[in-house]
Amino acid sequence: MASTQEEVSTSIIKADRLGRTHYSIDYKSQVLEAFERSSLSGPAFAEQCGIKYSTFASWVAKRKRKNVTTRQSNTTPDFVVAEVAKSPSSDTLEIALPGGAVARVSTPSELPLLIALLKALA
């Protein structure tokens, strides 16, 4: 496998008097893409690239937050709220969940548990 430093162009800019290194957005993106393709741990990958692990870890965390936000804004809800007339044969409320699971509530005292479950799954 080729060295990560060879795969990623080095667009490093030293911008301040304290010696802190600033990296371009393009460079960060290239490093993160190379990390996702690699089989290395975060600390090993950061060391191989010559980046402080704390800096690298902050890039990874920021990308994860961005991806979660993007995914949440681009998805449809996993369930739809529906109002159904009461069945004369049953007093049980059933909700079909993604993956085939079914949640059943047969008494009003179980309803807060169902609500907590649905909030946890959201």
Answer whether residue 58 shows pLDDT above 60. yes
In this structure, are 104 and 59 located in the same domain?
no
One domain, residues 25 and 48: yes
Quick: pLDDT tens for 22-51: 888 888 999 999 999 998 999 999 999 888
CA distance 74 to 68: 10
Give the pLDDT confidence score for residue 12 in this predicted structure. 58
Cβ contacts of residue 49 below 8 Å, gap of 6+?
4, 5, 8, 31, 56
User: What is the span of the domain harbouring residue 54?
Assistant: 4-73
Do 84 and 54 lie in one domain? The reply is no
The reported pLDDT for the residue numbered 48 is 92
User: Is residue 81 very low, low, confident or very high in pLDDT (cuts 50, 70, 90)?
Assistant: low
With a cut of 60, say whether residue 76 has pLDDT above it.
no
Average per-residue pLDDT for the chain: 77
How far apart CA 92 and CA 86 sit, in angstroms, is 9
**Secondary structure (3-state) at 86:** coil
Distance of CA 83 to the CA centre of its chain: 32
Within this chain, do residues 17 and 67 fall inside the same structural domain, yes or no? yes
| Same domain as 31, residue 82 | no
Domain count of the fold of the chain: 2
Q: Considering 73, 91, 112, which residue would you say is the last residue of a domain?
A: 73
Q: Model pTM?
A: 0.47
Q: What percent of the chain has pLDDT over 70?
A: 67
